[in-house]
Amino acid sequence: MFFKRSQPEAGKSRDNARAATAAAPEPTPLAVAELRRTVDPAALGFASTADLEPISGLIGQERALKAIQFGANMRSNDFNVFVLGPPASGKSTAVKQYLTRKAHEEAAPSDWVYVNNFDNPNRPRAIRLPAGRARSLAKAMIAVIDELRSTLPATFEGEDYQARRRSIEEEFRSGQEESFEALNKRAAEQNIAIVRTPTGFVMAPTHEGKIVKPEVFNTLPEGMRKEIETRIEGLQKDLEQILERMPKSDKQRRQRVNDLNTEVATVAVREALDDVQAAFAEEAEVQTYLEEAGKDLVRNVGLFLVQTGEESEIVKQPADTARDPRFRRYMVNVMVGNGEAPDEGAPLYEELNPTFGNVVGRVEHIAQMGALVTDFLLIKPGALHRANGGYLLVDARKLLLSPFAWEALKRTLKAREIRIEQPSEVSGLISTQTLDPEPIPLEIKVVLFGDRELYYMLATYDPDFAGLFKVQADFDESIERSSENDHAYARLIASLVREHNLKPANVAAVARLIEEGARLADDREKLSIQIGHLADIVREADYWASDAGSAEITREAVVRAVEEHTQRADRLRDRSQETIAREIVLVDTEGAQVGQINGLSVLQLGNFSFGRPSRITARVRMGSGRVTDIEREAKLGGPLHSKGVMILWGYLAGTFAQDVPLAMAATLVFEQSYGGVDGDSASSAELYALLSALSEVPISQSFAVTGSVNQNGEVQAIGGVNEKIEGFFDVCKARGLTGGQGVLIPKSNVQHLMLREDVVEAARQGQFSIYAVERVSQGIEILTGVKAGERGPDGEFPAGTVNRLVEDKLRLLAERARVFGMRSSSAGAPANNGDRTS
């Protein structure tokens, strides 16, 4: 529900108050020069960025860079580096620049390959090779297989092998046949025929070469029949013996053939492996592997003698050996191939997607006949393999968000070896048959990037973190403002111009960019080194310069870029201003009110923040000495806000009515605030409203106030001072600047002022003022036009001052409370909590 704005006789009440009170001296606003620290282009000493030598690396980050140097040079697995700092601060670029140089100066680390373990294929063997030799080994093994694919079939087709094979076959076949023929001959001599059936042999008597038919046989004398049967029985036994000997004989034949095959294949395989053995003579592990591969090749010589349909029918050329499934077991899986380019140096690898598999590597599977199968060639390297012997860069947040990845990295760093496991194995959820490759020793420097919150969270909650990431490289958000740093900043801008291939920025544009750097730092004594943000502005300015047909980036283009950037993001700010302009949200910018003041808050929306005035009101009455913070009661106030309210109560209690109880109840509220309120920057405004309510001296609504207070009445610095001032300025400007409007800020915030140019211009013309206050007493005088008052020698505040009026009111409330208490107790009324008045 919206409320109609009340129209109290504001000006009149303020005038009345002045008439009855001691007038305060006219306040002095801040000088225009203090509102924004500008840069004199003439003092920069160049015409455009084209005249400047671009700066390499960062400026003002010596501490962080020293930490990186230290971390990179410490040859220890636990001195890994955590680079912390705000996003887009250029920390990643700076680290990469430094480590690229350093890595380039270092020797390339060893190569690593996985090869088949012929004894245990489930545990592929890892072999270390000198840098640049891994791919040579892989190619050499392909060449070996290619050669064997030609030589083995030719050898086994050759006359020599065939003759020896025929000799063996003939020897055994003739042995069998001779036995058969001898039996046949014996049988024929006895007029017995041996006849072959599909499943064996039968014997039958013959007469003149013909089988004796059963009906004829049955007519023979019984003695003859018996004799024939006896003869056949004898021959059958002989036949059985011959047949039973055949498997043994065949086994011997196969053994002889196998021996021959082994002998022939061994010669061919040895010749094929000769070159690669010579090339890797220094590598003992490779020699062992080649020895085993050679034996396996001889055992599986049949693989080379089978012609695939593809070869013989389609292309008439040998298929690619590397892709032929028959020969996979002899291939070499190059996990890491370093040193292939001259002076390549140590690897520097940044993993942009640090999933578990991408970090520690993985074993892939392929579907084959409905089943998932794998082998050592499906082992894929991870970032740790690629960066082994060098440097690995990873974004900490992404790493932590990837399931299992952080734990895997820690485990690997601790163990100092890369062990490839499936995530399911790690978690113990699923037990699938897969590979268990031999681990690869790890020597690496890991550099994590993250913000401070993440760093401190890890340091607090992860007991392993501090032990593994002992070097912290802390990047600052800003650097000190000085003429040297202004110049360095100009060179930084020049480097951005060059890096992004932009138009040169003239000196006025550079000056404006330096000012924007101070504004981004929220501190006119500092310059923001959030390179990403600065680069965005420079690039957008380049766009607007082109749009304006300018050959260089001008000051106007920079201003346009900043304005356009703001405009793209400030839809909600416009809405907020609109609700105030249409008096849906009630904010007075003229007149005076008792117990009412304009506070200022900052709303942060992504990268964009803006200030907004809010009405704060205070009401007082007799009570038991309690200030009710309505925001807190409604659970809209944060702890810092509540703390601020309690502090101002402490101020009241300590400053006034020290000899009487605070028989007062007060309520404080941020009017029309429906979201959360936190921070103590409104505590001074709340105190002013409370003092006004107690003293009944009205506060000028032409002012807005920001700043926190302590119990001694000192006004303390707050954040977002520029946005807050500009927020109130925009409201006033929309309604028309009267000249009497302004903002009270803590004096300690003056150094942070980098106000918009239109605000500065309004101040220059006397249309808007900024007042810096150190104490509450100063603020209340500006707001009310009435002297605050100091206790005199008699311990009393001078009459007509705000403080006197407050104290008088508190004494009055205390007296009333005392009288009320006596009456209540004599009437037997129950004690109340003081929040109720009669």
Catalytic one of 402, 495, 609, 681? 681
Out of 6, 7, 218, 501, point to the residue binding other proteins (CB under 8 A).
218
Q: Residue 143, interface with other proteins (CB under 8 A)?
A: no
Q: Which residue has the tokens 């055949």?
A: 246
Q: Which of 25, 214, 370, 675 binds other proteins (CB under 8 A)?
A: 214
- Reduced to 3 states (helix: H, G, I; strand: E, B; else coil), residue 637 is strand
Q: Which of 9, 51, 62, 157 binds other proteins (CB under 8 A)?
A: 157
- Closer to other proteins by Cβ: residue 174 or 427: 174
| CA-closest candidate to residue 742, choices 720, 715, 724 | 724
The CA distance from 539 to 541, in Å, is: 5
Q: Are 759 and 726 in contact (CB under 8 A)?
A: yes
Backbone angles phi, psi at 628, to 5 degrees: -95, 115
Q: How far is the CB of 354 from other proteins (least distance, A)?
A: 54
Near other proteins by CB under 8 A, which window of 202-210, 336-344, 438-446, 722-730? Answer: 202-210
For position 219 contacting other proteins by CB under 8 A, the verdict is no
Among the listed residues 104, 213, 823, 836, the single contact to other proteins using CB under 8 A = 213
Query: CB of residue 170 vs other proteins: minimum separation in angstroms?
Result: 8
Binding string, residues 162-181; x marks residues near other proteins by CB under 8 A: x---x--xx--x--------
Q: Identify the CA nearest to 257 among candidates 183, 166, 358, 189.
A: 166
Handedness of CA 811, 812, 815, 816 (dihedral sign): negative
Closer residue to other proteins, CB minimum distance, 242 or 737: 242
Kindly give the residue spans of alpha helices, DSSP state H, lying in 190-312.
214-217, 222-279, 284-299, 302-305, 309
Q: Which residues ranging from 227 to 286 are in contact with other proteins (CB under 8 A)?
A: 229, 232-233, 236, 239-244, 246-247
Our finding on whether 160 is near other proteins (CB under 8 A) is no
The contact mask relative to other proteins for 76-105 (x = CB under 8 A, - = no) is: ------------------------------
Q: Which of 197, 317, 431, 433 binds other proteins (CB under 8 A)?
A: 197
Q: Does 223 bind other proteins (CB under 8 A)?
A: no
Residue 478: active-site member: no
- Residue 749: strand, helix, or coil: helix
Helical ranges in 402-525 per DSSP H: 405-415, 423-427, 452-461, 465-468, 483-499, 507-521
Binding-site size, other proteins (CB under 8 A): 38
CB of 272 to other proteins, least distance (A): 24
Q: Is 667 helix (H, G, I), strand (E, B) or coil?
A: strand
Cα 133–chain centre separation: 34
Is residue 700 part of the annotated active site? The answer reads: no
- Classify residue 316 as left (phi > 0), alpha (psi -120 to 50) or beta: left
Query: Phi and psi (nearest 5°) for 318?
Result: -60, 140
Closest CA to 593 of 29, 3, 6: 6
The dihedral region occupied by 676, where left means phi > 0, alpha psi between -120 and 50, and beta the remainder, is: beta
- Whole-number minimum distance, CB 165 to other proteins, in Å? 11
Q: Which residues are paired to 699 by β-bridges?
A: 593
One of 102, 445, 724, 733 is an active-site residue; which one? 724
Nearer to other proteins, 75 or 210 (CB): 210
563 belongs to the binding site for other proteins (CB under 8 A): no
Q: Does residue 204 touch other proteins according to CB under 8 A?
A: yes
Contact (Cβ atoms closer than 8 angstroms) between residue 203 and residue 193: yes
Closer Cβ to other proteins, 244 or 275, answer by number? 244
Give least dist CB 294 to other proteins, A: 29
Residue 750 interacts with other proteins (CB under 8 A)? no
Closest CB 257 distance from other proteins, rounded Å: 14
Position of tokens 């000085």? 482
Binding site for other proteins (CB under 8 A): 157, 159, 162, 166, 169-170, 173, 195-205, 211-215, 217-218, 229, 232-233, 236, 239-244, 246-247, 313
Q: Which residues are catalytic?
A: 681, 724
